């Protein structure tokens, strides 16, 4: 592959583990590009919800994913010309994204799009199958996790901070169901990649997690 020499750091992990924040901070420190693979699934989900597409219609959802006009500009996420960063954080969109991510045709439709993010000088890719499926030859693989309680608290603060309603009991139940779905799906289940460093951030700040990743990268 022509770009196989470009270094990639993969950061996989469950919902609300903090992998997105860590990925962006690591990329900023290294001057690398960022791939938020979860955003691609949320963009597909948002487009499907707006069109009224059934979340069980795998063929129609794959068609939406194939033609997804996704753009990442300066930390902002666009669907076509619309900045949809705020809309993507709605729980309805997140739940829909988790469901369609289990569909093989949707995952295949987004495969090539994700590979195209590998550009010089390097890439930090966060998601659930970055190290296991999309970039199995990555220079450094991280599996970032945290307790369900810690993740629910972070998600609660994130939603409240962005003006969305949130209920701790509901968030705990939602995280349990998403974890179950992600870890047990037939295609690309959530699990640490071979050779991945496990990083539990339950009692860590984002900056502490970033320093751990950078230290591993220096010795990779």
pLDDT digit string, tens, across residues 26-40: 999 999 999 999 999
Q: Any binding-site annotation on 80?
A: no
Q: Any binding-site annotation on 10?
A: no
Is the preceding omega at residue 78 within 30 degrees of 0, hence cis?
no
Q: How confident is the model at residue 80 (pLDDT cuts 50, 70, 90)?
A: very high
Q: Any binding-site annotation on 15?
A: yes
Q: Any binding-site annotation on 74?
A: no
Task: In whole angstroms, give the CA distance from residue 97 to residue 66.
Answer: 15
pLDDT tens sequence across 124-174:
999 999 999 999 999 999 999 999 999 999 889 988 988 888 899 999 998
Q: Any binding-site annotation on 99?
A: no
Q: What is the CATH architecture assignment of 8-218?
A: 3-Layer(aba) Sandwich (3.40)
Q: Any binding-site annotation on 53?
A: no
Q: At what angle do helices 91-100 and 37-51 cross, to 10 degrees?
A: 100
CA atoms within 13 A on the CB side of 54: 4
Task: In whole angstroms, give the CA distance from residue 39 to residue 91.
Answer: 13
Task: In whole angstroms, give the CA distance from residue 186 to residue 155.
Answer: 27
Residue 46: is its pLDDT beyond 60? yes
Task: In whole angstroms, give the CA distance from residue 122 to residue 33.
Answer: 6
Q: Which residue has the tokens 């550009």?
A: 119
| Total-model pTM | 0.87
Q: Any binding-site annotation on 38?
A: no
């Amino acid at each position: 592959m022509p770009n196989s020499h470009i270094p990639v750091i993969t950061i996989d992990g469950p919902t609300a583990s903090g992998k997105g924040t860590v990925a962006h901070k690591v990329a900023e420190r290294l001057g690398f590009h960022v791939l938020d693979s979860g955003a691609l699934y949320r963009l597909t989900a948002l487009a499907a919800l707006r069109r009224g597409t059934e979340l069980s219609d795998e063929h129609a959802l794959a068609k939406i994913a194939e033609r997804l006009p996704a753009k990442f500009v300066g930390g902002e996420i666009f669907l076509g010309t619309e900045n949809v960063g705020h809309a993507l954080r709605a729980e309805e969109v997140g739940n829909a994204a988790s469901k369609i991510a289990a569909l093989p045709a949707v995952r295949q439709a987004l495969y090539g799009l994700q590979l195209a993010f590998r550009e010089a000088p390097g890439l930090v890719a966060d998601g659930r199958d970055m190290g296991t499926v999309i970039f199995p030859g990555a220079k450094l693989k991280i599996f970032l996790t945290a307790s369900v309680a810690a993740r629910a608290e972070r998600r609660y603060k994130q939603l409240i901070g962005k003006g969305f309603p949130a209920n701790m009991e509901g968030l705990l139940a939602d995280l349990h169901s998403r974890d179950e779905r992600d870890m047990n799906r037939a295609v690309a289940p959530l699990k640490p990649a071979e050779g991945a460093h496990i990083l539990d951030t339950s009692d860590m700040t984002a900056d502490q997690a970033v320093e751990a990743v950078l230290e591993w990268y220096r010795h990779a």
